[in-house]
Structure 1
Amino acid sequence: MNPIEATSQITQHLHPLISDLGLILMTAAVAVLLFKKIRQPLVLGYLIAGFLAGPNFIFFPSVQEINSIEVWAEIGVIFLLFSLGLEFSFKKLMKVGGTAAITALFQITTMIVLGYLVGQWMGWSLMDSIFLGAILSMSSTTIILRAFDELNVKGKKFAGIVFGTLIIEDIVAILLMVLLSTIAVSKQFSGMELFESVLKLFFFLILWFVGGIFFIPTLLKKAKNLFNEETLLIISIALCLMMVILATKAGFSPALGAFIMGSIIAETIHSERIEHLIKPVKDLFGAVFFVSVGMLINPNTLVEYAVPVVVITLITIFGKSISTMFGALIAGQPLKQSVQSGMSLAQIGEFSFIIATLGMTLKVTSDFVYPIIVAVSAVTTFTTPFMIKIALPVYERLIKILPKKLIDAIDRYSVNSQSVKTTSNWQIVLKAKLSQIVVHSVIIIAIIILSDRYIIPMTESSKFGNAAAALVTSIIIAPFLWALSFRKVAVEQIEALQKAGKHRGPIMVLILIRISLGIFFIGFLLNNFLSPWIAFVALIAAISVYLLFPKKLNTLYNKIELHFFRNFNDREISQAQKKRSDLTPWDGHMAFFEITKESNLAGKALNELEIRENMGINIAFIKRGGITINIPDGNERVFPGDEICVIGTDDQVQIFKSYLDQNEIEVPELVQETAIILKQVELENEEFIGKSIRKSQLREKTNGLIVGIERNEKRILNPNSDIILEKNDILWIVGNEKLLTAFFEK
């Protein structure tokens, strides 16, 4: 075959794929422009674009190779989940309060049961009904974020409940995908199989999280000098696909692997940069995914199943609103926030499509389910902003029609629930002990399995191969075995319980369980590698070694643990980008530091140090000899002997102090006699109301800096000078105490 013929064949082979992708992207581009113009969610535009490019719309060119598009769509799901993981992070999960967890779990459980019952009532099959319940339990992060932005309600209290609920939903969605896959494959509801699937999922989640946090941030830090946008993008995609492969080999979906890797990278100092770089890739393949979803819309099916579409839409809107509202009430939220939260989550979205796709891929759901879900999603997308808008009128109506006794009971329950926030010493001890047992057991089991799979085959040809493999494995797991069996945790709480004479029996049981597990794992390892008698002798020897060298094992484990937590907290410590700054003047305070002669910062400008950008710290003043420079600008330099005052939260000031310690900064003892303060003022002076911060000349008149504004339950951090001041605004101003007091009290 000559080169021309080969090229011709390649062109003929590629042509349908390229033309199909071109058609999809052109249709999607038109939809993007149109829906941007009419201010509607782009997801809806992609669905309509898919319908136009699909085989069910004959008045428009159609995609030729559906199978190829399915491959692109699967890639789209991977990058969608990777991006969701980047936005998720395990830190966010730990910060989610009990309110969001209770609200989410109540809503999800209710909607799964309700969806299943509705499916059965409509005569659907068992699997269709189960998948319908799972689909209806998931809300749309994209649609909610867009609606909150347009309605400017992100700063409201209920928005925090909604965002926390969405985080829990993401985790539950991953769990549901695993459970649904197990049910679909086994075709039965074996409790043991489901338990094994959940256990397997949590085992790998812990293993991937611990291993990922230990190694990946280190890798990224070591290679940071080699990074540019191209290399960082390639490396992040490579890490994502590597975890996709690992998840697939472990028997999970590719989407799970992508989500886990995104969550791990979210803890690194490069997370915001990677999120920015991956966004165009996610948008491209995400568009292909949603367009492919739209291709499955069949008008004939929708006409035939018009009644189910209407029923499921109503169930979604009212079921999710009411179940979320009751979940929030149970969690102790006031009626107002509960109603607002419920009506914000009354839609289905991204994970619903992914779960529906899973059902189609496994061939366990009927063909009509997918188009129905797409139609319901389209309707609820349109209704979401309207539902958020009418939440307050609905609340006001409820106040009027509900009995006053019931309203008072809800208020009392909310107040009591909010006040019960203490954690007992026993709860702290139990949590610490169980965490130690679970995490270290997972690590030890994983090392033994890997050793059995990879080290033994390398040594089996040797006479003492098994003994050598056992020795190597024992050395690797030694610090973890010691930590599992003997490392002390929650020491202060245990001492307090012992002094009070409480829970001595349970504490002793937990200690015995830890030691027994350590002995069991050593015996299990040696028995796998050696004959029973040799394993028994080796077990005695191994236990003796652990008892004889506790300090060395403790030191080694501390190094490993320190490395893990340094990686885990690196993002907060370095604060590479402070886009989501936690600094709020309402919980900030002042701290004082001095620049030494040896400081590496001496002579540098503030805009070069990027202290505010990297750590969220505001510099209130610089004192230089007898001169005080209040509210210094970015061009001001710091010099040896300068005394600086910063404003930040406890955590931010601690991070800043660690940063300064690395550059040889000393903390003066008597600097705190300064007259610079952080003052809260309620704006009532008509002279400033209706003017922008710049035109009000408050800075010039008070020699102070407005660092925050509280307005209608919203908080504006570091407001720009164009913001218009309104009556009853609460201003947070840093400046000279005498000038501020004299000005606002005159």
Structure 2
Amino acid sequence: MPEFPFFRDLVLAVGAALVGGVIAHRLGQPPLLGYLLGGILIGPYTPGPVSDIRNVSTLADIGIVLLMFELGVEFPVARIRRVRSVALGGGSAQVILTGALAIGISRLLGLPLVQQVFFGAIVSLSSTVVILKLLLDRGEMDTPHGEISVGIALVQDLSLVAMMVLLPAWATAEEDVGWTLLLALGKTIGLFLGAYFVAGLLLPALFAAVARLRSRELFLLAVVLAVIGTTVALSALGLSTALGAYRAGVVVSRSHYSRQVLAELLPSRDLFASLFFVSVGMLVDPLLLWRHPGTFFAVVAVIVLLKPAVSALIVRAFGHSASTALLTGLLLGQVGELSFVLARLGADRRFIGEELYGLVLGGALVSILVNPVLLRYGGALLARGLPRVAPSPAPSDVPEAGRSHLAGHVIICGCGRVGSELVAQLRAAGFTYVVIELNPIRIEELRRDGEPCLFGDANNLRILKDAGVERAKLLAITHYNAAASELTIRTVLEIHPALQVIARAHYAGDVQRLRGAGASEVVVPEFEAGMEFLRWTLGQLGLSAGEIDAVVQRRRIETKPGESVE
């Protein structure tokens, strides 16, 4: 039957994603590493079964659209405003500086001028999809480095629009280059703004009309039409598919139906997103990389080493802590879907050769492969040097006299949802506490509420001493970042070995890691939620309170530290 090749390719791609994902999970690595390697195995450049990249790419594009649409709903422009200075200023500076340095390196490699400029533009961009996937997997969307990295990545996405308009116009212009570039950019901005405001009027009206019919099937159809239709319309104006989907999500986030829209789409998100990473692996030709090792390693070095270093220095220059700058730089240390779009444009228009195109794809694959590893392990290793370079702390809201008399108190590191609940209950019970928080927005909120707080990094010795760590009774680390938590635990126990430390973990391996660092207790929210479900369910089934406590206690004893809790 004529559809058979498509379904064969789909089976191969999903099978490669499943096998690769299982192996990666068994090795304790993020699943996307397995997806990428699975893509290489079914690609046209390796022995064995071969899948048609065109069929897989079509499904992968749906994954990009759904991921970026969700980002637009969950991370709209209003949240970018919270980090607008570093996102706009830092993001623009990062693109320009990384691009300029990459142009200089490509010149040393002997590339022609047009290829130099395209190479600099391609490697200056990061994958919002990869960043989003890593942050969601690590539970770090609401952290300072999470918000900053997403904000910078979205600014990069916007810069792609300008690149796709200006670079071809510059490369083909024979005279009056300035006027040609200005005209092309003005036309694109005008069409984009017009489409955005039209969609902002039409989509809420569409959802309202369909919602009144009380039909889940019709509402789902309206959602699919809105997401795909808005993305296609904006893409037709020169916007990338990824950025078009994000803008569609921003439009939907302004309506009352945004949560239901997400609920309808999210079950399909991870399936299609995994196919995106499989499709990236399929594009890579290992033999091409083998034939040009010097150029290939130069491409990888620019993406994995140069760009994170530039990004971290820029974030640091905007006044953020060394740990936030480091983690942001590591998150941005890869290239992905937007770079592929620009590279394909350059190859199709013969601005770059197929050789450079293949090397860029290989560099992209390596960068996506090593990015989660660097983020998990490299961050922990490099972070050990952070106390030596941490910034001078900002003025605190703990008066000097109060700081000198702090004793037997609780230090709370991080004041998100978990930290806020702890603060509220300690305040209600009359206990003394002080909060250490890195998010400047959250610090302002705490100060308005009159809470004792310090802006700074909990790994900074001066910050810890200002919080009275030598005289504290307990330290609570309420965030998910295992690398930062491990460093904090080791740092405070050097100052106060008898201090009781409670920490929060997300990954199974982090439980043993934090206990090994010296944590007295490690809480895994998912496991505790399971215990509450168990307690309530057994109560509804008629067990007494004593019997329920016995079952829960037995389960706690049976659960070894580090057992799967995800």
TM bin (shorter chain): 0.5 to 0.7
Q: 1:665-685 CA distances to partner (integer Å, 9 max, x unpaired)? A: xxxxxxxxxxxx99979999x
Q: 1:282-329 CA distances to partner (integer Å, 9 max, x unpaired)? A: 433333333232222112101012212211222223322332233224
Matches within 5 A, 1:730-741: none
Q: 1:463-497 CA distances to partner (integer Å, 9 max, x unpaired)? A: xxxxxxxxxxxxxxxxxxxxxxxxxxxxxxxxxxx
Q: Distance in 1 between matches of 2:322 and 2:452?
A: 30
Q: Which amino acid aligns with 2:4?
A: H
Match for residue 281 of structure 1?
268
Q: Residue 151 of structure 2 is aligned with which of 164, 168, 171? A: 164
Aligned to 1:133, what secondary structure does the other structure show?
A: helix
Between 197-206 and 336-345, report the one with greater CA deviation.
Answer: 336-345
Which entry has the higher C-alpha Rg, 1 or 2? 1
Match for residue 324 of structure 1?
311
Structure 1 303/179 Cα, relative in aligned 2: closer, same or farther at 3 Å?
same
Mapped contact 2:67–2:273 kept (Cα < 8 A): yes
Count of residue correspondences: 440
Q: Residue 28 of structure 2 is aligned with which of 22, 30, 39? A: 39
Match for residue 378 of structure 2?
387
Q: Which amino acid aligns with 2:223?
A: S
Q: Distance in 1 between matches of 2:235 and 2:327?
A: 40
Between 46-55 and 249-258, report the one with greater CA deviation.
Answer: 249-258
Q: Residue 234 of structure 1 is aligned with which of 221, 245, 252? A: 221
Matches within 5 A, 1:626-705: none
Q: Distance in 2 between matches of 1:712 and 1:37?
A: 28
Matched, 1:50 2:42: no
Q: 1:212-236 CA distances to partner (integer Å, 9 max, x unpaired)? A: 2233223323432435554333212
Deviation at 1:89, TM superposition (A): 1.8
Q: Which amino acid aligns with 1:23?
A: L
Mapped contact 1:297–1:371 kept (Cα < 8 A): yes
Q: CA RMSD in A?
A: 4.9
Q: 1:248-303 CA distances to partner (integer Å, 9 max, x unpaired)? A: 55455544433322221132233233234323434333333332322221121010
**Whose relative contact order is higher, 1 or 2, with alpha carbons under 8 Å and at least 6 apart?**
2
Match for residue 11 of structure 2?
22
What 5-or-longer segments of structure 2 have no aligned partner?
396-415, 429-441, 454-466, 479-500, 507-514, 521-566
Structure 1 306/330 Cα, relative in aligned 2: closer, same or farther at 3 Å?
same
Matched, 1:265 2:265: no
Deviation at 1:151, TM superposition (A): 6.9
Matched, 1:303 2:294: no
Mapped contact 1:111–1:319 kept (Cα < 8 A): yes
Q: Residue 356 of structure 1 is aligned with which of 336, 339, 343? A: 343
Structure 1 188/54 Cα, relative in aligned 2: closer, same or farther at 3 Å?
farther
Match for residue 118 of structure 1?
105
Structure 1 361/284 Cα, relative in aligned 2: closer, same or farther at 3 Å?
farther
Structure 1 42/270 Cα, relative in aligned 2: closer, same or farther at 3 Å?
farther
Matched, 1:221 2:208: yes
Q: Distance in 1 between matches of 2:348 and 2:164?
A: 12
What 5-or-longer segments of structure 1 have no aligned partner?
1-10, 400-409, 416-579, 589-619, 621-647, 652-676, 694-710, 717-723, 728-746
Q: Structure 2 length as normaliser, TM-score?
A: 0.64
Q: Which amino acid aligns with 1:315?
A: V
Q: 1:18-42 CA distances to partner (integer Å, 9 max, x unpaired)? A: 2222222222221222222223333
Matches within 5 A, 1:250-649: 250-335=237-322, 337-362=324-349, 364-380=351-367, 381-382=369-370, 383-396=374-387, 584=420
Mapped contact 1:107–1:323 kept (Cα < 8 A): yes
Q: Distance in 1 between matches of 2:320 and 2:63?
A: 37
Match for residue 405 of structure 1?
none
Deviation at 1:105, TM superposition (A): 1.6
Deviation at 1:74, TM superposition (A): 4.5
Deviation at 1:583, TM superposition (A): 11
Deviation at 1:148, TM superposition (A): 5.5
Q: Structure 1 length as normaliser, TM-score?
A: 0.50
Mapped contact 2:240–2:338 kept (Cα < 8 A): no
Percent identity, aligned pairs only?
23
Q: Which amino acid aligns with 2:264?
A: L
Structure 1 82/190 Cα, relative in aligned 2: closer, same or farther at 3 Å?
farther
Q: 1:439-460 CA distances to partner (integer Å, 9 max, x unpaired)? A: xxxxxxxxxxxxxxxxxxxxxx
Q: Which amino acid aligns with 2:213?
A: L
Matched, 1:61 2:55: no
Q: Which amino acid aligns with 1:50?
A: G
Aligned to 2:3, what secondary structure does the other structure show?
A: helix
Q: Which amino acid aligns with 2:13?
A: I
Deviation at 1:336, TM superposition (A): 5.3
